[in-house]
Amino acid sequence: MARALVVVDFQNDFTPGGALGVAGGDDIAGRVDSLARSGDFDLVVATRDWHPADHSSFAAQGGRWPPHCVQGTPGAALHPALDRSLVDVVIDKGHDPATAGYSGFDGTTLAELLRERGVDHVTVVGLATDYCVMHTALDALREGFGVTVDSTATRPVEVQAGDGTRALEQVRAAGGSIA
């Protein structure tokens, strides 16, 4: 069977200076590229938040977040520190204005792609630990994939102190492993 690296939402708007910047979000670039180059993975997938301008998660529509990763904007682009040549497939998510779209599996073809490629285990990295990384990892487990979250290649939003640690514990409690 095959292994995949899933790079979650390593985008400009989630790194320092972005619309919803995660502290240290750009610091994961070296580790993500190192994993992608390692030869340990048969497939490297990057997910990308790809919101319409009227997405329900935005404060103007009653959501909790500022506008971020709006389709076609520089903020929605993959971070330039990510070596794009290492990414085999980009999966857009969060394009349905009515759903949060935290998970890389929510409304996408990610599960089908992984199965078509014979993947049985995914390593999840990216931004942010306590939202999109956690939801992607939990959905991967629900879809029947083995899951490892490489915590050295994630960073949390930390709306509440400890959210990142609690997110990793949820993944572990659901059957995933944390590296």
How many angstroms separate the most distant Cα atoms in the chain?
Answer: 45
Is-catalytic flag, 69? no
- Decide if pLDDT at 9 tops 90: yes
Please report which confidence band the pLDDT of residue 1 belongs to, taking 50, 70 and 90 as the band edges: confident
Catalytic: which of 13, 69, 93, 150? Answer: 93
Which residue range forms the structural domain that includes residue 167?
2-178
pLDDT at residue 34 in the model: 97
CA distance to 2, 61, 73, 82, 143, per residue, from 86 (Å): 17, 36, 22, 8, 25
Q: How many domains does the chain have?
A: 1
In this prediction, residues 43-49 reach a mean pLDDT of 98
Tell me the sheet residues that pair with 124: 6, 149
Q: What's the pTM?
A: 0.97
Write the CATH number for 87.
3.40.50.850
132 is an active site residue: yes
pLDDT in tens, 86-143: 999 999 999 999 988 999 999 999 999 999 999 999 999 999 999 999 999 999 999 9
- 93 a catalytic residue: yes
